[in-house]
């Protein structure tokens, strides 16, 4: 297996085809895992968080430590360590002194064992909430009708730093890892 940094466009279709959400997120950094034939068998992407409040909550309003989100991870391999190898490589090759957050979606059976295996800090669960419903599935496409709501599941929050300066910047507590049954999406 070969792991390398790649342009976001190089893994976009792989993520759409293999991530359980079947959509991408904003990509600043992308890494691909390829088999010996050059076929992509794994991808991880990082980008700006969907919520500007995440950065403020993890580092404070006046701290300038960059915060990005590991926003997609898709693996199409029987190797049970492929995801942790891919994440480990990406973390070693991202710019230093950044805070990275990621979420494991309880609604699809994820606990976040890959983050536990790669030594991320656990920061608890987000609250379940509701979003504005739209036919397209995206809250911004509600066409003025904000009366219909759809549930959003809770997510396990994880964070890690790429440098000692960033590690000191985190305001999130480190809690014991959650355990339980998990679902692997292949």
> Can you tell me the distance from the alpha carbon of 114 to that of 110, in angstroms, rounded to the nearest whole number?
10
> Can you tell me the distance from the alpha carbon of 124 to that of 103, in angstroms, rounded to the nearest whole number?
10
Q: Please tell me the predicted confidence (pLDDT) of residue 28.
A: 96
**22 alpha-carbon distance from chain centroid:** 14
Q: Name residues of the chain where pLDDT drops below 50.
A: 142
Q: Please tell me the predicted confidence (pLDDT) of residue 90.
A: 97
Q: Please tell me the predicted confidence (pLDDT) of residue 18.
A: 94
Is residue 1 within 8 A of residue 41, CB to CB? The reply is: yes
Is residue 155 within 8 A of residue 128, CB to CB? The reply is: no
Query: Distances from the Cα of 185 to the Cαs of 19, 35, 75, 162, in angstroms?
Result: 8, 19, 8, 28
Task: Please give the helix or strand (H or E) that residue 31 lies within, else none.
Answer: strand 29-34
Q: Please name each of the domains of the chain with its CATH number.
A: 2-169 (3.40.630.30)
- Residue-wise pLDDT for 90-128, tens only, equals 999 999 999 999 999 888 788 999 999 999 999 998 876
Is residue 7 within 8 A of residue 30, CB to CB? The reply is: yes
Q: Please tell me the predicted confidence (pLDDT) of residue 85.
A: 97
> Can you tell me the distance from the alpha carbon of 66 to that of 162, in angstroms, rounded to the nearest whole number?
10
Four-point Cα dihedral 106, 185, 91, 103, nearest 10 = -10
Helix (H, G, I), strand (E, B) or coil at 75: strand
> Can you tell me the distance from the alpha carbon of 41 to that of 39, in angstroms, rounded to the nearest whole number?
6
Is residue 32 within 8 A of residue 42, CB to CB? The reply is: yes
pTM assigned to the model: 0.84
Q: If 0-12 CB within 10 Å is exposed, 13-18 middle and 19+ buried, where does residue 21 land?
A: middle
């Amino acid at each position: 297996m070969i792991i390398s940094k790649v342009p976001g466009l190089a893994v976009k279709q792989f993520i759409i085809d293999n991530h359980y959400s079947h959509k991408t997120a904003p990509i600043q950094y992308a890494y691909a895992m390829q088999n010996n034939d050059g076929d992509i068998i794994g991808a991880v992407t990082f980008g700006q968080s969907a919520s500007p409040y995440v950065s403020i909550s993890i580092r404070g309003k006046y701290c300038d430590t960059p915060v990005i989100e590991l926003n997609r991870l898709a693996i199409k391999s029987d190797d049970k360590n492929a995801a942790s190898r891919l994440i480990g490589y990406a973390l070693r090759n991202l710019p230093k002194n950044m805070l990275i957050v990621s979420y494991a979606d309880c609604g699809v059976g994820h606990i976040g064992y890959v983050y536990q295996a790669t030594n991320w800090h656990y920061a608890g669960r987000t609250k379940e909430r509701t979003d504005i419903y739209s036919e397209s599935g995206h809250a911004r496409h509600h066409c003025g009708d904000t009366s219909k709501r759809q549930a959003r599941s809770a997510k396990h929050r994880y964070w890690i730093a790429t440098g000692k300066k960033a590690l000191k910047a985190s305001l999130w507590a480190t809690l014991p890892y959650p355990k339980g049954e998990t679902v692997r999406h292949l």
